[in-house]
Chains A and B, each alone.
Chain A
Amino acid sequence: MPDCDSMRENMPLLLTESLDPARRELTHQHIEMCPMCVAEWSAYKETWSILDTLPELDVPARVKQRFLAEVSPASVTPNVVPFRRRSAPRWLAQAAAVVIIAGGAFYGGRRMTPRVELTPTPAQVTAIQQAMPAQAAYSIAESRVLPAASISPQIEGRPDIQNVQFTDATPSNDQIGVSFDITSHVTVTGRPTDKSMVRLLRYVLENEDKQSPSRSRAIDWVRSTYAHVGNPDPEITEALANVLRNDDNQGVRIKAADTLRSLQSTMTDGTRDALVEALKNDPNPAVRIKAVEALAKLARSGGTMDPDMVDTLRKKASQGDENVYVRVKAAEALSSIQPR
């Protein structure tokens, strides 16, 4: 590709998060589309990750000898002009002399001054000065704790996050924490309803490495956390709907559908569509069961039932080759619907 070179120049900067948002996004998009750059990027990341783990080794004596032999004067080819020291300018020599004289005078004077000895006294604490919160300097090696309220809810680009962990250090308060590895280990703390926290969880659900076992844990955690929140942000249910639509792992899809059922109060049109789609087409009967149970619960609560949903339930209830439990649940859902 014509712009591969420039994109590859960006990769080290991308790795250290030094690119501006526009170039970062551009580079990410290019990497996703260009197989050669994917390989290059993977190599960069791997190299970066192993740099910390590599021990510092002394150069073996044999290599050292060979290197010196290579650069020794005997090996210099005759056509190289020998290096000759050039005389320094005269003013430079004078300045050096002034510095030496001044330095010598200061040293001599300091030696001749009598030393004053202070009597040791016990230390007393007179006041504690409140340390000013220092502006956290960027460091790839450190662990950082960031309050959700102080970070932007907008996540720019598509940072590669790994090793996601969830914490609820003090269950009695309403604070939760999400930690993950990016180029440093970051922990974001805040309330489940903080927009930044919601966006971060949405990003975790939709973008964390699909094979990571923590994806499944993430969904469990979302369910247990947001079950206690009166009216969870619709972005959470939309993220779960995307997982339900797109995830290859059937266990993850089952959990996503089950969690959507428990977070009924914030069901959006998109979420309902995802459940209907799962009921229609998901090959796993357990996913279809969770989807039909969620729709039945929605029908019982008097939620909006669009014609497509009713039609799908009707077809499922009558579909001879469908699992009997799915059919029964679809019939139950239909019996709760009051046409309007």
Chain B
Amino acid sequence: MKNKIQTFIAVAVLLSSTQLFGASFGTSSRVTREFPVDPAGSVWIDNPFGSIDVIGGEGNVITVSAERTLTAPDQLTLKEASDNVALSFEGDTKVRLIRTLLPPMRNARWTVTVNYIVHVPRGVNVKIGGSKSAEHIRVANVNGSVTINGFSGIVIMEGVNGASAINMVNGRVIYDYAQKPVARAQVQAVNADIDMFLPANSNFDWVANTINGDMLSTFNVKGGRFNGSVFHGVVGSGGLTINTESMMGHVAVLVKGSNLADAQSMRANEPAHQAVPGDVLRQPAKKIQLPFVNGDFVFAASVADVVVGEVRGNARIETGAGEVELGAVFGQCNVTSLGGPLNLGDIMGSLFAHTGAGDIIVRASRMGGQVTTDGGLVRVIYAGGPMTLRSGGGDIIVRQFSAFMDAETASGDVTLTGDPAQKSIKVTARTLQGNIVLNVSPRFAADIDATILTSDPEVNEMHLDFNGITIRREQVGNKTRIRATGKINGGGERVELYAEDGDIYISAQTLTPIRLANPK
């Protein structure tokens, strides 16, 4: 019993001490000010941390109520915070400027939140900026124009009848129209969801754009059409434009009283999607992870991360952006991405892979095919059939090719290693800025035609491990062309190499061939 009491006291002391160590000091103060303003004047509010409520009403006076809350781990830091945070009220009757002033480099140990409640004449223009983090920014019953630029928080627009422009990064944007919209609204966000609630008899042209989210409405949207990822539709008889754009969130225009669950996707209403390059962004975003597909695998999404372990049939994948990873494909493989890396395993049928940007790695292309990226590295471990490899900028590396190899990059090195079991293979390799390295077995036979075009002939050279090749130099404008031609080991398939401002290496090496396991 005595032990239990001692243990209890020890735990209590420990808990109280940890609470003491974690304690913080805080202070809160409230300021209220009144300023005259023209009924059609402007109010600018700049508040990095804290909520803002702007409420329209009658009269020609602005009433500002600001509550400043400071927290710090100790009294000294709290004092420092108090000295460094200032509320500023500037301007005249035409423009009133309300600001929270913070030092440019502040001590991260203290925090500040200033919550403003500002009552304004209904007709003023409101501009809110510099908001980094706000629980909410609310503007209500304002007939003037409203502009909000913030980083994160919930933006609520209630009964705003003037033109509005909102630009947010994270959070959420909610519009609640008290009456039919009479001025245009422009809402742009990166990660925020945008929801607009409008009266059922509203008339407007709706422009919506999202890549990762969806476009939803409970209105009867007419004349819907897509231009890339941008949707254009008409509600009622149309008229003013409501533009909603969120990169990663959803955008929705809803009849007041309805809810999001009842809304229809504008993408789903599209007629049967015919896959043509560029319109993949109409597809909704998806993420898929499958260990095994017993048959063909067909997939299309605007933003998608695709991981499939094995496809027993053909694979056809189309994405706007994302990473694609396929383990093994027994049939043909066709992967097109507008951007993102492709990681492909053992492809037994013919291969077509393209990405708008990113690296492409192919472990084995048994029948060969075409692999292209507009920018990125191309790495193929085993090429069993003829292959065409292209990069808009980036290295191309082939660990072993056994059939015709055609590799070209706008800028980067090309490194190709031939199958040592093959006596002769046709090769074409080009780089417009970089080096070419061709590794072959010492008994490799070919007709060599290698060219370097360089502005620095002292630096760029041919490095050839084979005899029987003639090297000539000639001046072409302000550049020097170094050309090596001849037959090695008696001649064979044509090997054509071209490098600008780089070296060419044809290296004779005793190579270890790659052997692939047979599929089960």
Partner-B contacts on A (CB < 8 A): 42, 46, 209, 211-213, 216, 248-252, 254-255, 283-289, 310, 314, 317-318, 323-328, 330-332, 334-335, 337-340
Q: Which 8 A-B pairs have the closest CB atoms?
A: A251-B412, A325-B339, A285-B357, A250-B393, A339-B132, A286-B376, A251-B395, A250-B411
Residue from B151, B359, B434 within 8 A of A286 (CB atoms): B359
Residue from A254, A286, A287, A334 within 8 A of B190 (CB atoms): A334
- In the complex, how many angstroms separate the beta carbon of B108 from the nearest chain A beta carbon? 6
Q: What total of chain B residues lie within 8 Å of the partner, measured CB to CB?
A: 58
Q: Decide yes or no: A249 and B190 within 8 Å by CB, A254-B376, A324-B303 being known contacts.
A: no
Whether the pair B190, A213 counts as a contact (CB closer than 8 A) is: no
Interfacial chain B residues near A248, Cβ < 8 Å: 411, 433, 501
Whether the pair B434, A249 counts as a contact (CB closer than 8 A) is: yes
Whether the pair B375, A286 counts as a contact (CB closer than 8 A) is: yes
Chain B residues 393 to 413 lying within 8 A of chain A, measured CB to CB, are 393-395, 409-413
Most B CB contacts (10 A, CB to CB) among A209, A325, A340 go to A325
Whether the pair A328, B212 counts as a contact (CB closer than 8 A) is: yes
Q: B298-322 interface mask toward A, CB cutoff 8 Å, 1 = contact, 0 = none?
A: 0000110000000000000000111
New A-B contacts (9) at CB < 8 Å, excluding given A249-B434, A286-B394, A335-B191: A216-B413, A251-B393, A254-B412, A255-B377, A284-B375, A285-B375, A286-B376, A325-B358, A337-B170
Whether the pair A211, B392 counts as a contact (CB closer than 8 A) is: no
Chain B residues 307 to 351 lying within 8 A of chain A, measured CB to CB, are 320-322, 337-341
Whether the pair A324, B248 counts as a contact (CB closer than 8 A) is: no
Interfacial chain B residues near A337, Cβ < 8 Å: 151, 170
Interfacial chain B residues near A251, Cβ < 8 Å: 377, 393-395, 409, 411-413, 434
Whether the pair B339, A326 counts as a contact (CB closer than 8 A) is: yes
- In the complex, how many angstroms separate the beta carbon of A307 from the nearest chain B beta carbon? 10
B169 close to A (CB within 8 Å): yes
Q: Decide yes or no: A339 and B394 within 8 Å by CB, A323-B357, A327-B247 being known contacts.
A: no
Interfacial chain A residues near B71, Cβ < 8 Å: none
B503 close to A (CB within 8 Å): yes
Residue from B133, B151, B375, B456 within 8 A of A250 (CB atoms): B375
Whether the pair A249, B357 counts as a contact (CB closer than 8 A) is: no
- Residue of B with least CB distance to A251: B412
- In the complex, how many angstroms separate the beta carbon of A176 from the nearest chain B beta carbon? 23
- In the complex, how many angstroms separate the beta carbon of A209 from the nearest chain B beta carbon? 6
Chain B residues 405 to 441 lying within 8 A of chain A, measured CB to CB, are 409-413, 415, 433-435, 437
Interfacial chain A residues near B302, Cβ < 8 Å: 324
B56 close to A (CB within 8 Å): no
Interfacial chain A residues near B248, Cβ < 8 Å: 328, 331-332, 335
Interfacial chain A residues near B337, Cβ < 8 Å: 325
- Residue of A with least CB distance to B357: A285
Interfacial chain A residues near B170, Cβ < 8 Å: 334-335, 337
Whether the pair A325, B338 counts as a contact (CB closer than 8 A) is: yes
Whether the pair A324, B409 counts as a contact (CB closer than 8 A) is: no
Cα of A256 to Cα of B395 in the assembled complex, Å: 13
Whether the pair B394, A250 counts as a contact (CB closer than 8 A) is: yes
